[in-house]
Chain A
Amino acid sequence: MTPSPVILDVQHLTMRFGGLVAVDDLSFQAKRGEITAIIGPNGAGKTTVFNCITGFYQPTEGMIRAIHPDGKEFLLERLFDFRISQLARVARTFQNIRLFPAMTVLENLMVAQHNELMVKSGYTLFGLFSLPVYRQAERAAVDKARHWLDKVGLHARADDPAGDLPYGGQRRLEIARAMCTGPVLLCLDEPAAGLNPRETHELGDLLNDIVADTGTSLLLIEHHMHLVMDVSNRVVVLDYGQKIAEGTPDEVSNDPGVIAAYLGVEEEEIEIVMEDTQ
């Protein structure tokens, strides 16, 4: 089998906040149709990488390239934040869930299809007079929302306010909402945080489902190692903003540098570890 082409290409990404180097010369690639996990101890710079990819931060240096299946390329560091979702079709979820709590579950999913519906509603003009073009588009949007509600098991709660959902439901709704934007790459920031073991297991299935059904590639930040080892095809390990390892889950979990970063090492062993990793 030929190696699958690249969907996200991060080159020499550096992010400085004043004197603090949050991400230091990071390069990695995510392949199409795969789940790429970014792991690392707390404060390693994982979320900063996400914020750079999705346009919430302007990286200090480096290039982030998204490559669509049709070969179109987007330089994400040059796109304004909302354009990244709109044009480059890179969607994201947040570590601390960001839903629209006073809107219903269904409304949340409708908002996610804003851009498509805006065009179909003739930038509100057709919609104002409820022309068939718009009514059709709205029906299609509801169908799409319903499809994702079924996927994440929230169909029964479609008309409840999102803020009333239990924590796990809110996490799943956020994923469904991101998927409703029709992304080619979905960045998930700690989707398993706060989930119980059963929910985490279901989340793993959901992620595999998404990749298999829609072809959307996933970029995953996660602390839950079982989930990472289960679902991801490749793992990138960060520590202090630098990449210390990359490879398949097996390779990474046996890497002495990674073990050292997670568990810490005795002072006299540092040099040995350093030599091993280089």
Chain B
Amino acid sequence: MANGNVSDAPVKSGLDLAGALKDALVAGIVAFGLFALVLGLRTEQGPTGAQILLPRPQLLFMSVALVMAGRFLISLFFRSGAVRLPAVYLPAPFVRVNYLGNIAGGALLVFALIIPVIFFDNRYILDVAILVMTYVMLGWGLNIVVGLAGLLDLGYVAFYAVGAYSFALLAQNFGWSFWICLPLAGIVAAFWGVLLGFPVLRLRGDYLAIVTLAFGEIIRLVILNWQEFTGGPNGISGIPRPSFFGLPFTAADDGFAAYFRLEFNPSHRVVFLFYVILALALITNLVTLRLRRLPIGRAWEAMREDEIACRSLGINTTNTKLTAFALGAMFGGIAGSFFATRQGFISPESFTFMESAMIVAIVVLGGMGSQLGVALAALIMVGGFEVFREFEQYRMLIFGLAMVGIMVWRPRGLISTRDPSIHLRKAKPIPAKVVEEART
């Protein structure tokens, strides 16, 4: 490396004052353009009730001056090479995915299992844990569609909604139990996944994203407006709570607590709900991991890499896409029915585009295709969001900054290596660079 690297541009020594001033001036003009209306003027209610304009020249001047000074300093010291920032790279925490990933995954699983034991009396933590697990399951479900099959689905919340409403309507109208309604809701959601899949089979990338986004909105609007069937904006209330194999979580004599001769505690139900969603999420995970090693999973990943090559090998890409959609939708629908039974009340407001965006963000942040990454991302995004609740309006800011930071340091997600699904001698994780190149 010492004498081989001749392409390094010579580093200018000394401070380039004129250049820095020019940079600062440009930054100042841009800042002025941006801030003039946003910061420089403020509308307020006048004494007569009419809006009046309050000019705020000092604030505007200060902000622009701050930007210019900052730009000047950055240009002066960093651009000219007088001061060099040490190259900051976040350590790739799971380069050896097979080994470290297993440990991290195992630790997370054990932690998840004992959460209800540690925080039995802390209803808040349990609620957050249930919320996180719901998003983990949704993330894993969407991971099949986005991470494995490479179909960017921005309307995933539609299946969440279909699952929730199917569950609520089935449970209310027919009085069927939780364990019957749950798979039925999953099947209904899968059916809708196929229904959405058909028209978008030819679409890829951005076009697919737009159409699925629209589909998500259509479902929400139909639910909102089909008053006599779904209750419209009033939603559906009084959705039956899950029972412990027929034993309701009530203080009554035939309740769960009485049957096991325990003192009645409302936490019993919450803990039970937590273990239900944990089990459902783990089933999602196991099925996905198993499918990845089966021909269908390999076909999904191959389709993500090159659809034309897939067809030249005789793979029916239509069916392959539809199975991905159906399976992803099914897990989304099951998560939706869990949501319905936990809340006891659902309305279209719970199924806005923000939810879809959140789930997609979890999958992308986690590193597309990585199960552990998705779980970590759900923990960070949903759990982190709760941690910063005290900061109120600043938490969005912190959240945004964290996202920018991650995109800068780990642009391919938390875990961006790919585990091969089969190996001849030794499984070597496929480095992020190759995975990334394959997708551009």
Contacts and interface: CB of A to CB of B under 8 A. Distances in A.
A206 interface: no
Contacts of B313: 82, 85, 91, 111-112, 114, 177-178, 181
B314 A100 contact: no
A81 B311 contact: yes
B315 interface: yes
Nearest to B299: A114
A190 to B, nearest CB: 15
Contacts of A163: 434, 437-438
B247 to A, nearest CB: 31
B428 interface: yes
B434 A102 contact: yes
Interface stretch (A7-15, A34-42, A120-128): A120-128
Interface string B410-440: 0000000010111111111011001101110
A92 B316 CA distance: 16
Contacts of A81: 311-312
A99 B305 CA distance: 8
Contacts of B306: 98-100
Contacts of B290: 127-128
23 contacts: A56-B308, A56-B312, A81-B312, A86-B314, A101-B305, A101-B434, A101-B438, A102-B437, A103-B421, A106-B420, A106-B422, A110-B421, A111-B302, A112-B313, A115-B315, A118-B296, A121-B296, A142-B424, A159-B420, A159-B428, A160-B428, A161-B431, A177-B313
Interface in B299-335: 299, 301-302, 305-306, 308-317
Nearest to A84: B314
B294 A102 contact: no
Nearest to A149: B424
B295 interface: yes
Contact of A127 (B294, B312, B314): B294
A81 B86 CA distance: 53
A107 B428 contact: no
Interface residues of A, number: 44
Given A94-B312, A99-B309, A114-B298, 19 more contacts: A56-B308, A82-B316, A82-B317, A85-B312, A85-B314, A98-B309, A100-B438, A101-B437, A102-B434, A102-B435, A106-B424, A107-B298, A111-B313, A124-B296, A127-B290, A127-B296, A161-B431, A164-B434, A178-B313
A68 interface: no
B287 interface: yes
Contacts of B427: 159
Nearest to A89: B314
Contacts of A177: 313
Ordered nearest first, which 3 A-B pairs have the shortest CB separation?
A: A85-B314, A86-B314, A102-B438
Given A82-B317, A128-B287, A142-B424, A102 B418 contact: yes
A84 B314 CA distance: 7
Main secondary structure of the interface of A (DSSP, over half): helix
Contact of A159 (B296, B425, B439): B425
Interface residues of B, number: 39
Interface in A58-108: 81-86, 91-92, 94, 98-104, 106-108
Given A106-B424, A107-B298, A107-B422, A100 B309 contact: yes
A6 interface: no
A217 interface: no
A54 interface: yes
B425 A158 contact: yes
A54 B302 contact: no
Interface in B250-306: 287, 290-291, 294-296, 298-299, 301-302, 305-306
A92 B312 contact: yes
Given A106-B424, A142-B424, A158-B424, A82 B430 contact: no
A146 interface: yes
Contact of B301 (A99, A103, A106, A128): A103
B317 A107 contact: no
A117 interface: yes
Contacts of A178: 312-313
Given A82-B317, A100-B309, A111-B315, A159 B423 contact: yes
A136 to B, nearest CB: 14
Given A104-B420, A114-B299, A124 B430 contact: no
